[in-house]
Amino acid sequence: MDRPTILLAMSGQADTYVDALQRAGFDPITLGPDTVTAVPTADLAVVDCDLPSELVTTVMGALRSGRGAPTLLLVGEGSDVPEVAGSAGDDVALALKPMPPDGLVYRLQAMLIRTGRELPDGWSSWAADSAAHAAGQIVGEGHVVSVFAPKGGVGKTTIAVNMAVALRQQTRAEVLLLDADVGVGNVTSVLEVPYRMGLSDLADSPADEWTDAVFEQVVTVHAESGLKVLAWGTDPAESERVSVDLLLAALRWARNHHSYVVVDNHPGYDDRTMAMLAVANEIFLVVTPEVGALRNSAQFLELARDLGLASSIRVIVNRANHGIRVQDIATALGLPIAATIVSNGPKAIVASNEGKPVVLKFPREDISNDLHKVARLISQPDAGAEPVPEPVARRWWSRFGTRTSQA
Ligand SMILES: Nc1ncnc2c1ncn2[C@@H]1O[C@H](COP(=O)(O)OP(=O)(O)OP(=O)(O)O)[C@@H](O)[C@H]1O
Ligand SMILES: [Mg+2]
Protein backbone atom coordinates (compact mmCIF):
# COMPACT_ATOMS: atom_id res chain seq x y z
CA MET A 1 0.00 0.00 0.00
CA ASP A 2 1.20 3.55 -0.68
CA ARG A 3 1.55 5.77 2.32
CA PRO A 4 -1.71 5.49 4.30
CA THR A 5 -2.87 8.81 5.72
CA ILE A 6 -3.25 9.02 9.50
CA LEU A 7 -5.31 11.72 11.08
CA LEU A 8 -3.66 12.66 14.38
CA ALA A 9 -5.89 14.59 16.78
CA MET A 10 -3.68 15.01 19.85
CA SER A 11 -4.04 17.12 22.95
CA GLY A 12 -0.28 17.70 23.30
CA GLN A 13 2.81 17.79 21.10
CA ALA A 14 2.56 15.40 18.16
CA ASP A 15 6.10 15.80 16.72
CA THR A 16 7.54 12.49 17.95
CA TYR A 17 4.47 10.61 16.69
CA VAL A 18 4.66 12.35 13.31
CA ASP A 19 8.31 11.38 13.04
CA ALA A 20 7.77 7.70 13.98
CA LEU A 21 4.76 7.40 11.66
CA GLN A 22 6.63 8.92 8.74
CA ARG A 23 9.52 6.53 9.26
CA ALA A 24 7.09 3.61 9.28
CA GLY A 25 5.67 4.62 5.88
CA PHE A 26 2.55 6.51 7.03
CA ASP A 27 1.50 10.01 6.05
CA PRO A 28 0.34 11.78 9.23
CA ILE A 29 -1.98 14.81 9.14
CA THR A 30 -2.23 16.65 12.43
CA LEU A 31 -5.47 18.22 13.52
CA GLY A 32 -5.31 21.07 16.00
CA PRO A 33 -8.25 22.45 18.03
CA ASP A 34 -8.54 25.39 15.60
CA THR A 35 -9.24 23.28 12.48
CA VAL A 36 -12.31 21.57 13.84
CA THR A 37 -14.65 22.77 11.10
CA ALA A 38 -12.86 20.70 8.47
CA VAL A 39 -11.91 17.15 9.47
CA PRO A 40 -9.81 15.77 6.61
CA THR A 41 -10.46 12.23 5.38
CA ALA A 42 -7.80 9.68 6.26
CA ASP A 43 -7.14 5.93 6.10
CA LEU A 44 -6.72 5.68 9.89
CA ALA A 45 -7.17 8.07 12.79
CA VAL A 46 -5.77 8.57 16.27
CA VAL A 47 -7.93 10.63 18.60
CA ASP A 48 -6.76 11.74 22.01
CA CYS A 49 -9.71 11.55 24.44
CA ASP A 50 -8.13 14.30 26.55
CA LEU A 51 -9.10 16.83 23.87
CA PRO A 52 -12.24 18.82 24.73
CA SER A 53 -15.18 16.42 24.51
CA GLU A 54 -17.03 18.52 21.87
CA LEU A 55 -14.01 18.31 19.65
CA VAL A 56 -13.71 14.53 20.14
CA THR A 57 -17.42 14.18 19.28
CA THR A 58 -17.06 16.30 16.14
CA VAL A 59 -14.01 14.42 14.94
CA MET A 60 -15.52 11.01 15.68
CA GLY A 61 -18.76 12.02 13.94
CA ALA A 62 -16.88 13.15 10.84
CA LEU A 63 -14.77 9.97 10.81
CA ARG A 64 -17.75 7.65 11.26
CA SER A 65 -19.85 9.39 8.60
CA GLY A 66 -17.13 9.17 5.95
CA ARG A 67 -15.49 5.96 4.81
CA GLY A 68 -15.24 4.85 8.42
CA ALA A 69 -11.51 5.18 9.05
CA PRO A 70 -10.42 2.70 11.77
CA THR A 71 -9.72 4.84 14.80
CA LEU A 72 -7.47 4.41 17.81
CA LEU A 73 -8.67 6.30 20.86
CA LEU A 74 -5.94 7.33 23.30
CA VAL A 75 -7.32 7.18 26.81
CA GLY A 76 -5.83 8.71 29.95
CA GLU A 77 -6.93 8.21 33.54
CA GLY A 78 -9.54 10.97 33.54
CA SER A 79 -10.58 10.79 29.89
CA ASP A 80 -14.18 10.64 28.68
CA VAL A 81 -14.41 7.72 26.28
CA PRO A 82 -16.90 8.47 23.45
CA GLU A 83 -19.89 6.12 23.30
CA VAL A 84 -19.06 4.93 19.81
CA ALA A 85 -16.10 3.02 21.26
CA GLY A 86 -18.33 0.23 22.50
CA SER A 87 -20.23 -0.41 19.26
CA ALA A 88 -17.80 -0.05 16.38
CA GLY A 89 -16.12 -3.48 16.53
CA ASP A 90 -12.60 -3.65 15.10
CA ASP A 91 -12.91 -0.14 13.67
CA VAL A 92 -12.43 1.58 17.02
CA ALA A 93 -9.79 0.46 19.51
CA LEU A 94 -8.62 1.91 22.80
CA ALA A 95 -5.04 2.45 23.89
CA LEU A 96 -3.81 3.65 27.23
CA LYS A 97 -1.78 6.83 27.58
CA PRO A 98 1.11 7.50 27.72
CA MET A 99 1.70 5.89 24.36
CA PRO A 100 5.31 5.70 23.12
CA PRO A 101 5.67 6.54 19.42
CA ASP A 102 6.73 3.03 18.35
CA GLY A 103 3.84 1.57 20.36
CA LEU A 104 1.48 3.79 18.37
CA VAL A 105 2.95 2.55 15.11
CA TYR A 106 2.45 -1.09 16.15
CA ARG A 107 -1.13 -0.44 17.20
CA LEU A 108 -1.92 1.18 13.86
CA GLN A 109 -0.26 -1.63 11.94
CA ALA A 110 -2.28 -4.15 13.94
CA MET A 111 -5.48 -2.23 13.08
CA LEU A 112 -4.61 -2.28 9.39
CA ILE A 113 -4.04 -6.04 9.54
CA ARG A 114 -7.21 -6.72 11.53
CA THR A 115 -9.40 -4.64 9.26
CA GLY A 116 -8.04 -6.35 6.17
CA ARG A 117 -6.00 -3.43 4.86
CA GLU A 118 -2.44 -3.54 3.58
CA LEU A 119 0.55 -2.24 5.48
CA PRO A 120 2.49 0.68 4.02
CA ASP A 121 5.55 0.05 1.89
CA GLY A 122 8.73 0.37 3.89
CA TRP A 123 7.31 -0.54 7.28
CA SER A 124 9.69 -3.48 7.64
CA SER A 125 12.78 -1.29 7.59
CA TRP A 126 11.08 0.76 10.28
CA ALA A 127 10.52 -2.42 12.30
CA ALA A 128 14.19 -3.30 12.02
CA ASP A 129 15.23 0.20 13.09
CA SER A 130 12.54 0.92 15.62
CA ALA A 131 14.35 -0.30 18.68
CA ALA A 132 17.34 1.78 17.67
CA HIS A 133 15.20 4.90 17.74
CA ALA A 134 13.73 4.20 21.14
CA ALA A 135 14.01 7.27 23.32
CA GLY A 136 17.38 7.54 25.01
CA GLN A 137 18.29 3.86 24.74
CA ILE A 138 21.27 2.24 23.13
CA VAL A 139 20.38 -1.02 21.50
CA GLY A 140 22.67 -3.85 22.47
CA GLU A 141 23.95 -6.67 20.39
CA GLY A 142 21.60 -9.29 21.77
CA HIS A 143 20.23 -11.65 19.14
CA VAL A 144 16.46 -12.04 19.43
CA VAL A 145 14.79 -15.29 18.35
CA SER A 146 11.00 -15.37 18.43
CA VAL A 147 9.52 -18.86 18.57
CA PHE A 148 6.12 -18.77 16.89
CA ALA A 149 3.35 -20.86 15.37
CA PRO A 150 -0.11 -19.69 14.41
CA LYS A 151 -1.41 -22.96 15.87
CA GLY A 152 -1.47 -23.93 19.54
CA GLY A 153 0.15 -27.01 21.03
CA VAL A 154 2.79 -27.64 18.35
CA GLY A 155 5.76 -27.37 20.73
CA LYS A 156 6.68 -23.67 20.85
CA THR A 157 7.26 -23.59 24.60
CA THR A 158 9.13 -26.91 24.62
CA ILE A 159 11.42 -25.64 21.86
CA ALA A 160 11.87 -22.16 23.35
CA VAL A 161 12.79 -23.48 26.82
CA ASN A 162 15.14 -26.21 25.57
CA MET A 163 16.72 -24.06 22.90
CA ALA A 164 17.42 -21.35 25.48
CA VAL A 165 19.03 -23.85 27.89
CA ALA A 166 21.00 -25.46 25.05
CA LEU A 167 22.21 -22.05 23.87
CA ARG A 168 23.41 -21.36 27.38
CA GLN A 169 25.24 -24.71 27.49
CA GLN A 170 26.80 -24.21 24.07
CA THR A 171 27.94 -20.61 24.51
CA ARG A 172 28.07 -19.92 28.29
CA ALA A 173 26.85 -16.46 27.24
CA GLU A 174 24.01 -14.56 28.94
CA VAL A 175 20.74 -16.00 27.65
CA LEU A 176 17.28 -14.71 28.55
CA LEU A 177 13.97 -16.45 27.92
CA LEU A 178 11.00 -14.06 27.66
CA ASP A 179 7.56 -15.58 28.13
CA ALA A 180 5.43 -13.41 25.82
CA ASP A 181 2.50 -15.83 25.63
CA VAL A 182 0.66 -13.35 27.81
CA GLY A 183 -2.39 -14.71 29.58
CA VAL A 184 -1.94 -18.32 28.56
CA GLY A 185 1.61 -19.58 28.41
CA ASN A 186 3.52 -20.30 31.51
CA VAL A 187 7.15 -21.10 30.93
CA THR A 188 7.62 -21.30 34.68
CA SER A 189 5.38 -24.35 34.91
CA VAL A 190 7.61 -26.41 32.59
CA LEU A 191 10.86 -24.91 33.81
CA GLU A 192 11.18 -24.85 37.56
CA VAL A 193 12.47 -21.46 38.62
CA PRO A 194 11.84 -19.46 41.78
CA TYR A 195 9.05 -17.19 40.52
CA ARG A 196 8.93 -13.81 42.19
CA MET A 197 7.29 -11.34 39.85
CA GLY A 198 6.13 -10.95 36.29
CA LEU A 199 5.74 -8.10 33.83
CA SER A 200 2.13 -7.71 34.96
CA ASP A 201 3.52 -6.41 38.27
CA LEU A 202 5.01 -3.45 36.34
CA ALA A 203 1.82 -2.65 34.47
CA ASP A 204 0.74 0.08 36.89
CA SER A 205 4.02 1.98 36.68
CA PRO A 206 4.53 4.68 34.05
CA ALA A 207 6.89 3.81 31.21
CA ASP A 208 9.73 5.95 32.57
CA GLU A 209 9.86 3.68 35.63
CA TRP A 210 10.58 0.59 33.52
CA THR A 211 14.28 0.89 34.23
CA ASP A 212 17.09 -1.66 34.05
CA ALA A 213 16.96 -2.06 37.83
CA VAL A 214 13.25 -2.85 37.74
CA PHE A 215 13.62 -5.50 35.04
CA GLU A 216 16.54 -7.00 36.99
CA GLN A 217 14.15 -7.42 39.92
CA VAL A 218 11.53 -9.19 37.84
CA VAL A 219 13.92 -11.62 36.21
CA THR A 220 14.57 -14.99 37.79
CA VAL A 221 17.35 -17.52 37.18
CA HIS A 222 17.21 -21.24 36.44
CA ALA A 223 19.94 -22.41 38.80
CA GLU A 224 21.07 -25.55 36.96
CA SER A 225 21.66 -23.84 33.61
CA GLY A 226 22.10 -20.18 34.52
CA LEU A 227 19.34 -19.27 32.05
CA LYS A 228 17.48 -16.09 32.98
CA VAL A 229 13.70 -16.08 32.70
CA LEU A 230 11.40 -13.08 32.39
CA ALA A 231 7.79 -14.12 32.92
CA TRP A 232 4.69 -12.09 31.95
CA GLY A 233 2.94 -13.10 35.18
CA THR A 234 0.68 -15.93 36.25
CA ASP A 235 -2.84 -14.55 36.61
CA PRO A 236 -4.81 -14.51 33.32
CA ALA A 237 -7.01 -11.77 34.78
CA GLU A 238 -3.93 -9.52 34.83
CA SER A 239 -2.87 -10.29 31.29
CA GLU A 240 -4.63 -7.40 29.50
CA ARG A 241 -2.50 -5.02 31.50
CA VAL A 242 0.71 -6.26 29.92
CA SER A 243 0.82 -3.83 27.01
CA VAL A 244 2.75 -3.93 23.75
CA ASP A 245 4.86 -1.10 25.09
CA LEU A 246 5.76 -2.97 28.25
CA LEU A 247 6.76 -6.04 26.25
CA LEU A 248 8.84 -3.89 23.92
CA ALA A 249 10.50 -2.15 26.85
CA ALA A 250 11.30 -5.57 28.35
CA LEU A 251 12.70 -6.76 25.06
CA ARG A 252 14.87 -3.67 24.70
CA TRP A 253 16.26 -4.19 28.18
CA ALA A 254 16.79 -7.89 27.46
CA ARG A 255 18.61 -7.19 24.22
CA ASN A 256 20.81 -4.60 25.88
CA HIS A 257 21.98 -6.97 28.60
CA HIS A 258 22.04 -10.48 27.08
CA SER A 259 23.76 -12.07 24.12
CA TYR A 260 20.67 -14.09 23.20
CA VAL A 261 17.00 -13.48 23.86
CA VAL A 262 14.54 -16.30 23.15
CA VAL A 263 10.88 -15.25 23.05
CA ASP A 264 8.06 -17.76 23.55
CA ASN A 265 4.97 -16.39 21.80
CA HIS A 266 1.21 -16.70 21.80
CA PRO A 267 -0.29 -18.59 18.83
CA GLY A 268 -2.16 -15.79 17.06
CA TYR A 269 -1.93 -12.41 15.37
CA ASP A 270 -2.61 -10.07 18.28
CA ASP A 271 -0.56 -6.91 18.38
CA ARG A 272 1.71 -8.09 21.22
CA THR A 273 2.73 -11.11 19.18
CA MET A 274 3.13 -9.08 15.98
CA ALA A 275 5.44 -6.72 17.86
CA MET A 276 7.52 -9.64 19.19
CA LEU A 277 7.85 -10.97 15.63
CA ALA A 278 8.63 -7.62 14.06
CA VAL A 279 11.58 -6.86 16.34
CA ALA A 280 13.11 -10.36 16.23
CA ASN A 281 16.32 -11.05 14.35
CA GLU A 282 14.96 -14.48 13.56
CA ILE A 283 11.54 -16.10 13.73
CA PHE A 284 11.50 -19.84 14.34
CA LEU A 285 8.23 -21.02 12.83
CA VAL A 286 7.28 -24.33 14.47
CA VAL A 287 5.22 -26.73 12.37
CA THR A 288 4.08 -30.27 13.00
CA PRO A 289 3.60 -32.70 10.10
CA GLU A 290 -0.17 -32.34 9.86
CA VAL A 291 -2.30 -30.71 7.18
CA GLY A 292 -3.96 -28.27 9.64
CA ALA A 293 -0.69 -26.97 11.06
CA LEU A 294 0.74 -26.60 7.55
CA ARG A 295 -2.26 -24.69 6.25
CA ASN A 296 -1.99 -22.26 9.16
CA SER A 297 1.74 -21.91 8.60
CA ALA A 298 1.26 -21.27 4.87
CA GLN A 299 -1.21 -18.49 5.74
CA PHE A 300 1.26 -17.02 8.21
CA LEU A 301 4.01 -17.08 5.58
CA GLU A 302 1.78 -15.09 3.23
CA LEU A 303 1.19 -12.50 5.92
CA ALA A 304 4.90 -12.48 6.79
CA ARG A 305 5.77 -11.80 3.14
CA ASP A 306 3.36 -8.85 3.10
CA LEU A 307 4.91 -7.54 6.31
CA GLY A 308 8.46 -7.92 5.03
CA LEU A 309 9.28 -10.50 7.71
CA ALA A 310 9.72 -13.52 5.46
CA SER A 311 13.51 -13.34 5.24
CA SER A 312 13.89 -13.82 9.00
CA ILE A 313 11.82 -17.01 9.18
CA ARG A 314 13.31 -20.48 9.75
CA VAL A 315 11.03 -23.48 9.70
CA ILE A 316 11.44 -26.03 12.51
CA VAL A 317 9.50 -29.29 12.16
CA ASN A 318 8.55 -30.75 15.52
CA ARG A 319 7.50 -34.42 15.90
CA ALA A 320 9.09 -34.78 12.47
CA ASN A 321 9.09 -38.58 12.45
CA HIS A 322 5.29 -38.82 12.28
CA GLY A 323 2.94 -37.74 9.50
CA ILE A 324 3.78 -35.74 6.39
CA ARG A 325 7.34 -36.13 5.14
CA VAL A 326 9.79 -33.32 5.87
CA GLN A 327 10.59 -32.99 2.17
CA ASP A 328 6.90 -32.48 1.40
CA ILE A 329 6.57 -29.90 4.17
CA ALA A 330 9.43 -27.90 2.63
CA THR A 331 7.79 -28.09 -0.78
CA ALA A 332 4.40 -27.12 0.60
CA LEU A 333 5.77 -24.08 2.41
CA GLY A 334 8.28 -23.18 -0.32
CA LEU A 335 11.03 -22.90 2.30
CA PRO A 336 13.88 -25.13 3.43
CA ILE A 337 13.53 -26.92 6.74
CA ALA A 338 16.14 -25.50 9.11
CA ALA A 339 15.85 -28.29 11.72
CA THR A 340 13.72 -31.24 12.74
CA ILE A 341 12.89 -32.63 16.18
CA VAL A 342 11.76 -36.19 16.79
CA SER A 343 8.74 -36.97 18.88
CA ASN A 344 9.40 -38.47 22.28
CA GLY A 345 6.21 -38.17 24.28
CA PRO A 346 7.19 -40.19 27.37
CA LYS A 347 10.45 -38.29 27.90
CA ALA A 348 8.85 -34.90 27.17
CA ILE A 349 6.13 -35.59 29.74
CA VAL A 350 8.49 -36.83 32.47
CA ALA A 351 10.78 -33.84 31.97
CA SER A 352 7.96 -31.30 31.96
CA ASN A 353 6.30 -32.85 35.03
CA GLU A 354 9.58 -32.46 36.90
CA GLY A 355 10.00 -28.88 35.68
CA LYS A 356 13.23 -29.87 33.93
CA PRO A 357 14.17 -29.19 30.33
CA VAL A 358 14.50 -32.41 28.27
CA VAL A 359 18.04 -31.45 27.26
CA LEU A 360 19.10 -31.61 30.91
CA LYS A 361 16.96 -34.52 32.06
CA PHE A 362 17.63 -36.81 29.08
CA PRO A 363 20.74 -35.39 27.40
CA ARG A 364 21.49 -38.55 25.41
CA GLU A 365 18.09 -38.95 23.78
CA ASP A 366 17.57 -38.08 20.11
CA ILE A 367 15.07 -35.40 21.08
CA SER A 368 17.79 -33.59 23.08
CA ASN A 369 20.27 -33.96 20.28
CA ASP A 370 17.73 -32.40 17.90
CA LEU A 371 16.98 -29.55 20.31
CA HIS A 372 20.72 -28.83 20.53
CA LYS A 373 20.81 -28.65 16.73
CA VAL A 374 18.04 -26.05 16.86
CA ALA A 375 20.17 -23.99 19.26
CA ARG A 376 23.19 -24.39 16.97
CA LEU A 377 21.26 -22.57 14.22
CA ILE A 378 21.86 -19.56 16.45
CA SER A 379 25.18 -20.35 18.14
CA GLN A 380 26.85 -21.58 14.94
CA PRO A 381 24.96 -19.82 12.16
CA ASP A 382 27.54 -20.72 9.52
CA ALA A 383 27.40 -24.45 10.13
CA GLY A 384 24.94 -24.93 7.23
CA ALA A 385 21.31 -25.93 7.00
CA GLU A 386 19.70 -29.04 5.55
CA PRO A 387 19.52 -29.22 1.73
CA VAL A 388 16.82 -27.11 0.10
CA PRO A 389 14.21 -29.25 -1.66
CA GLU A 390 13.05 -28.02 -5.06
CA PRO A 391 9.67 -26.28 -4.75
CA VAL A 392 7.04 -28.00 -6.90
CA ALA A 393 4.55 -25.80 -8.74
CA ARG A 394 1.21 -27.36 -7.89
CA ARG A 395 -1.47 -27.08 -5.25
CA TRP A 396 0.46 -27.68 -2.09
CA TRP A 397 -1.94 -30.00 -0.30
CA SER A 398 -1.84 -32.43 -3.25
CA ARG A 399 1.64 -33.34 -1.99
CA PHE A 400 0.32 -34.83 1.22
CA GLY A 401 -0.43 -38.24 -0.22
CA THR A 402 2.79 -39.75 1.12
CA ARG A 403 2.98 -40.21 4.85
CA THR A 404 5.59 -41.85 6.99
CA SER A 405 5.50 -43.07 10.55
CA GLN A 406 8.87 -44.26 11.64
CA ALA A 407 8.54 -44.34 15.40
N1 LIG B 1 9.00 -33.43 20.21
C2 LIG B 1 8.09 -33.70 21.14
N3 LIG B 1 7.89 -34.97 21.54
C4 LIG B 1 6.96 -35.27 22.46
N5 LIG B 1 6.18 -34.40 23.06
C6 LIG B 1 6.31 -33.11 22.71
C7 LIG B 1 7.27 -32.68 21.74
N8 LIG B 1 7.16 -31.35 21.59
C9 LIG B 1 6.20 -30.94 22.45
N10 LIG B 1 5.69 -32.00 23.11
C11 LIG B 1 4.60 -31.99 24.10
O12 LIG B 1 3.45 -31.43 23.47
C13 LIG B 1 2.72 -30.63 24.38
C14 LIG B 1 2.57 -29.23 23.79
O15 LIG B 1 3.86 -28.66 23.73
P16 LIG B 1 4.10 -27.10 24.04
O17 LIG B 1 3.43 -26.70 25.29
O18 LIG B 1 5.57 -26.90 23.93
O19 LIG B 1 3.35 -26.48 22.78
P20 LIG B 1 2.99 -24.93 22.51
O21 LIG B 1 3.05 -24.76 21.04
O22 LIG B 1 3.84 -24.06 23.34
O23 LIG B 1 1.50 -24.87 23.03
P24 LIG B 1 0.63 -23.55 23.31
O25 LIG B 1 0.20 -23.04 21.96
O26 LIG B 1 -0.52 -24.07 24.11
O27 LIG B 1 1.49 -22.57 24.03
C28 LIG B 1 3.47 -30.66 25.70
O29 LIG B 1 2.89 -31.64 26.51
C30 LIG B 1 4.88 -31.10 25.30
O31 LIG B 1 5.54 -31.80 26.33
MG1 LIG C 1 3.32 -22.55 24.71
Chunk the chain into consecutive blocks of 10 residues (it has 407) and report each block's average pLDDT, rounded to whole numbers: 85 91 90 71 90 88 79 85 67 78 77 66 54 41 92 96 98 96 87 93 90 95 97 91 88 92 93 86 96 94 79 95 95 96 94 95 97 97 58 35 34
Beta strands in 196-281 (DSSP E): 220-222, 227-230, 260-265
Q: 5-129 maps to which CATH number? A: 3.40.50.2300
Neighbours of 129 (CB within 10 A): 13
Q: State the helix-helix crossing angle for 15-23 and 101-114, rounded to 10 degrees.
A: 50
Closest listed ligand to the CA of 154:
1
pLDDT for res 1: 54
Measured in angstroms, how far is the CA atom of residue 387 from the centroid of ligand 2? 29
User: Measured between alpha carbons, how far is 361 from 375 in angstroms, rounded to an integer?
Assistant: 17
Which atom of ligand 1 has the smallest separation from the CA of 367? 1
- Angle between helix 15-23 and helix 123-130 axes, rounded to 10 deg: 120
**Candidate from 146, 147, 157, 341 with most ligand 1 atoms within 8 A of CB, to mutate:** 157
| Shortest-distance atom of ligand 1 to CA 345 | 4
Distance CA 131, CA 248 (A): 8
pLDDT value for 406: 37
Atom of ligand 1 nearest to the CA of 185: 27
Quick check: CB of 152 below 6 Å from ligand 1? Answer: yes
Distance between CA atoms of 96 and 329, rounded to whole angstroms?
A: 42
Judge contact between 265 and 244, C-beta under 8 A: no
CB neighbourhood size of 388 (10 A): 10
Q: Which bound ligand lies closest to the C-alpha atom of 161?
A: 1
Please give the C-alpha separations between residue 315 and each of 301, 305, 340, 358, in angstroms, as whole numbers.
10, 14, 9, 21
Residues whose CB is less than 8 angstroms from the CB of residue 373 and which lie 6 or more positions away in sequence, other chains included: 339
Cα separation, 343 vs 112, in Å, equals 38
Other Cβ atoms closer than 10 A to 297: 26
Pocket of ligand 1 contains residue 156 by CB under 6 Å: yes
- C-beta 293 within 6 A of ligand 1: no
Any idea what DSSP says for residue 363?
T
- Separation of alpha carbons 9 and 216, rounded Å: 37
Does ligand 1 lie within 6 Å of residue 155's CB atom? yes
Query: Ligand 1 in contact with 71 (CB < 6 A)?
Result: no
So what CATH class is 143-405? alpha beta
CB count within 10 Å of CB 182 equals 27
* Any ligand 1 atom below 6 A from CB of 344: yes
- Please give the distance of CA 155 from its chain centroid, rounded to a whole number: 17
Ligand 1 neighbourhood includes 319 CB (under 6 angstroms): yes
- What is this structure's pTM? 0.71
Q: Which of 62, 66, 74 is nearest to 100 (CA)?
A: 74
Ligand 1 contact, 151 CB (< 6 A): no
Alpha carbon distance 194, 200 (integer Å) = 17
pLDDT for 115: 67
**Crossing angle between the packed helical segments 123-130 and 101-114, to the nearest 10 degrees:** 140
DSSP 122-172: THHHHHHHHGGGSTT-----PEEEEEE-SSTTSSHHHHHHHHHHHHHHHH-
Domain spans of the chain?
5-129, 143-405
